[in-house]
Amino acid sequence: MKSIPVLLMGCGGVGRDLLQHILTCRSLHAQQGLALRVVGVCDAKSLIAVSDDDLLIAQLTDPFLKEICRFKASSPSAPLSDLKTFDECVIYTTESAEKVVEIASNLGRSTGLVVVDCTASAETIGILTRVVDLDTIPHIQSFTSFALDSYLVGAGLPVITSLNRILASGDYVRCMIGSLSGTLGYVMSEVADGKPFSAVVKEAKSLGYTEPDPRDDLSGMDVARKVESLYPDKMGPGKMSLEDFLGSGLPLLDEDVEERIKAASLRGNVLRYVCIITDSSCGVGIQEVPKDSALGRSKGSDNVLEIYSRCYNKLPLVIQGAGAGNDTTAAGVLADIIDLQDLFSS
């Protein structure tokens, strides 16, 4: 049986579902000769981990992991340190980041360790760069699927795996164009059906598709840095309240969006809010795409990625599916962990 130590940062929506999936898959993984050994779980304020003496063999037990999931589902804003029952484990409420680095460094020198970041925090970047000890990178890189490129794009969609396959076969990627924000995908396909922009944004908000302030989605910042915002600067979060934006700001944008849709339609195109990457450029914004392309025909909140390469030159390789959802995203993270199994010895 091959044992893979795992330390999980973040037990909100995705992290919690990841723990659930790990529990559900116990027997499946055992059949494959694998056991995921969860040595620690942390949230923003605390870390629960096995004691230093037991680091090489112990794990947080399954009933305790279940209890963590239950607790975080019912009291999302309470820290793990408020848990009533505890395992044979240690709880760190200060210096938890230091402790994560220490555990990673200890296990990194012996069994190896998968550190999973399921937070939405920029703070963990500092932890991650310290965790990935420069000594281990050459070792990691000698394997096909290695930690550093095994991250997630489009929730659980097999984007990175598929790109790796294309590159490994010597095919040459010319361009990628994708709608990787479920929210903006929904908005753009609904306005194409003739509904006013303002009504669609409010609808998306009431369906729970948007962030509490929908401008967080409309600014495009969720997708990349070089972006075209769907609202002008003067309606930005610092300058206009959320109520004013929803009430009087948003409807002012309807006419402009409608005109752009009509102009595109004359050219047989529809508008989509996409991310485009070519050899020489990368951008995010509204783009006309052919009405009958996979992107043009996409509906609802699905993510769509089109990859054009030497092999897929006229018609792209298309990968499409739910690009959000804790369950799906967590399943993708688990698949990434399992992909790393060859790095660990039995």
Ligand X SMILES: NC(=O)c1ccc[n+]([C@@H]2O[C@H](COP(=O)([O-])OP(=O)(O)OC[C@H]3O[C@@H](n4cnc5c(N)ncnc54)[C@H](OP(=O)(O)O)[C@@H]3O)[C@@H](O)[C@H]2O)c1
**Interface with a second copy, residue 338, by CB under 8 A:** yes
C-alpha–C-alpha distance, residues 183 and 234, integer Å: 22
Taking the least distance from each CB to ligand X, the nearer of 312 and 344 is 312
**Residues ≥6 apart with Cβ < 8 Å to 270:** 188, 192, 261, 264, 288, 289, 291, 296
| Strand-pair partners of 40 | 7, 49
C-alpha–C-alpha distance, residues 56 and 124, integer Å: 24
**Interface with ligand X, residue 220, by CB under 6 A:** no
Question: What is the x/- site pattern for ligand X, positions 127-156, by CB under 6 A?
Answer: ----------------------------x-
Per DSSP bridges, beta strands 90-92 and 47-49 are antiparallel
Q: Which stretch binds a second copy (CB under 8 A): 6-14, 39-47, 114-122, 142-150?
A: 142-150
- Cα angle: 336, vertex 340, 344; to 5 degrees: 150
**Interface with ligand X, residue 120, by CB under 6 A:** yes
Q: Give me the amino acid identity at 27.
A: S
- Is residue 280 within 8 A of residue 298, CB to CB? The reply is no
**Residues ≥6 apart with Cβ < 8 Å to 88:** 50, 51, 54, 58
Q: For 249, which DSSP code?
A: I
The number of residues that bind a second copy (CB under 8 A) is 49
**Interface with a second copy, residue 30, by CB under 8 A:** no
The number of residues that bind ligand X (CB under 6 A) is 23
C-alpha–C-alpha distance, residues 134 and 126, integer Å: 14
Which partner in a second copy, ligand X, none is near 10 (CB below 5 to 8 A by kind)?
ligand X
Cβ-based neighbour number of residue 295 at 10 Å: 24
**Interface with a second copy, residue 322, by CB under 8 A:** yes
- Is residue 43 within 8 A of residue 81, CB to CB? The reply is no
Which partner in ligand X, a second copy, none is near 31 (CB below 5 to 8 A by kind)?
none
CA atoms within 13 A on the CB side of 136: 22
Cβ-based neighbour number of residue 12 at 10 Å: 16
Which partner in ligand X, a second copy, none is near 171 (CB below 5 to 8 A by kind)?
a second copy
Which partner in a second copy, ligand X, none is near 294 (CB below 5 to 8 A by kind)?
a second copy
**Interface with a second copy, residue 142, by CB under 8 A:** yes
Element (H, E) at 72: helix 62-74
C-alpha–C-alpha distance, residues 186 and 192, integer Å: 10
**Interface with a second copy, residue 120, by CB under 8 A:** no
For residue 311, the minimal CB distance to a second copy (Å) is 4
Which of 12, 25, 133, 219 binds a second copy (CB under 8 A)? It is 25
Is 234 a known active-site residue?
no
Q: Which stretch binds ligand X (CB under 6 A): 10-18, 21-29, 207-215, 226-234?
A: 10-18
For residue 323, the minimal CB distance to ligand X (Å) is 7
Taking the least distance from each CB to a second copy, the nearer of 108 and 332 is 332
- Is residue 345 within 8 A of residue 36, CB to CB? The reply is no
C-alpha–C-alpha distance, residues 16 and 20, integer Å: 6
**Interface with a second copy, residue 175, by CB under 8 A:** no
Catalytic residue, candidates 226, 239, 299, 314: 226
- Is residue 6 within 8 A of residue 343, CB to CB? The reply is no
For residue 293, the minimal CB distance to a second copy (Å) is 10
Touching ligand X, residues 37-76 (CB under 6 A): 42-45
Q: Give me the amino acid identity at 273.
A: Y
Token pair, residue 153, equals 């794009």
Q: Which stretch binds a second copy (CB under 8 A): 45-53, 105-113, 262-270, 313-321?
A: 313-321
Binding site for a second copy (CB under 8 A): 21, 24-25, 28, 33, 142-145, 156-158, 161-162, 165-166, 168-171, 292, 294, 297, 299-300, 302, 310-312, 315-322, 325, 327-328, 331-335, 338-339, 341-342
Binding site for ligand X (CB under 6 A): 9-15, 42-45, 79, 118-121, 123-124, 155, 324-326, 329
